[in-house]
Structure 1
Amino acid sequence: MTVTAVPETYRNAVVAHIMVDGAADAIGFYTRAFGAEELFRLGGPDGRIVHAEVRIQGATIMLGDAEGPLFSAPTAVGGTTVGLHVFVEDVDALAHRAAAAGAELLQPPADQFHGDRTTVLKDPYGHVWVFLTHLEDLTPAEVARRARELFGSPAER
């Protein structure tokens, strides 16, 4: 069986629309750090970005300058409650490039029990990114078995 780096299940997932302070700079960062390709941007009369889209190895992310109180940037609220997951061809290369571009490496690339190799990065705009390269196809039962082996059953905790 051939394993693909980006599982079909996640190819057409929910599209994130992230808010940042300094969207134009963020687009430049995502291009350097994650290999993003800018698809388009709509600027407002004040020079801020109303809406833009970038693609990271086939995954589209929408972004724009934060407009409170409806939308705030993570840096304005002291953190984020969302992790942005993107499957990529080579998580190790991406982590290296992103760290060199200024991303904070929260978790270095490592193989995980769920069959993916992952890294966790924080961008300069406060967003947390989880990049993954799929290594093996597992059933939900196999993932659950591996999780029990790794973390123990609820009764063992």
Structure 2
Amino acid sequence: MAAAEHNLICYLCVDGAAAALDFYRRAFGATEDQRWTGEDGRIGHARMTVEGMPVYLADEHPEIGVRGPHSYGGTAVSLVLTVADADAAFDAAVAAGATVERPVADQPHGARTGWLRDPFGHRWGITSTTAEVSEEELRGRVGDSYTIS
């Protein structure tokens, strides 16, 4: 028996998976690896690669309880995408149709991070590491606003 592969793959559900695949290509440089389209035209499963990581995607299938963020009025999950240049990646996502929640800014933990919503309701943090920050330095930067353990 082969050794088990350990990973965690995001599986996104959207209303409009074909359009979402195009958006993720333009916004994040995703490559589409596989697409299963049903007789009704809905995508039952697609696999794409974003920054070297697999991401799965499907159209809504409410008849089996599969719905995207717009059907729920939002999402409780955020995705964080680490890239070499957060500013450039963030700008590309906005140009592709994402909505800015918080612009890219330097963070006390040594990263540049911004937050946006894609047109399908998913929330993304776009981040890049700018400096290694020790725990002591981080404690000094955040002061009493957080307890760090």
Partner of 2:67: 72
* Greater relative contact order (CA < 8 Å, ≥ 6 in sequence): 1
When the two structures are superposed, what TM-score results if normalisation uses the length of structure 2?
0.85
Sequence identity of aligned pairs in percent?
Answer: 39
Structure 1 contact 103–123 (Cα < 8 Å) conserved: yes
Equivalent residues in 2 for 1:5-154 (5 A)? 14-68=8-62, 69-139=64-134, 141-142=135-136, 145-146=139-140, 148-149=142-143, 151=145
Residues 90-120 of structure 1 show CA distances to partners (whole Å, capped at 9, x for unaligned) of 1101111111111101111111112211111
Q: Distance in 2 between matches of 1:75 and 1:90?
A: 29
Residue identity opposite 1:116 in structure 2: A
Structure 2 contact 108–142 (Cα < 8 Å) conserved: no
1:59 CA drift (Å) = 2.3
Structure 1 segments, 4+ long, off by >4 Å, are none
Match of 1:124, SS? coil
Residue identity opposite 1:67 in structure 2: H
When the two structures are superposed, what TM-score results if normalisation uses the length of structure 1?
0.81
Unaligned 5+ runs, structure 2: 1-5
Partner of 1:4: none
Residue identity opposite 1:28 in structure 2: D
Structure 1 contact 118–133 (Cα < 8 Å) conserved: yes
Q: Distance in 2 between matches of 1:13 and 1:116?
A: 24
Unaligned 5+ runs, structure 1: 1-11
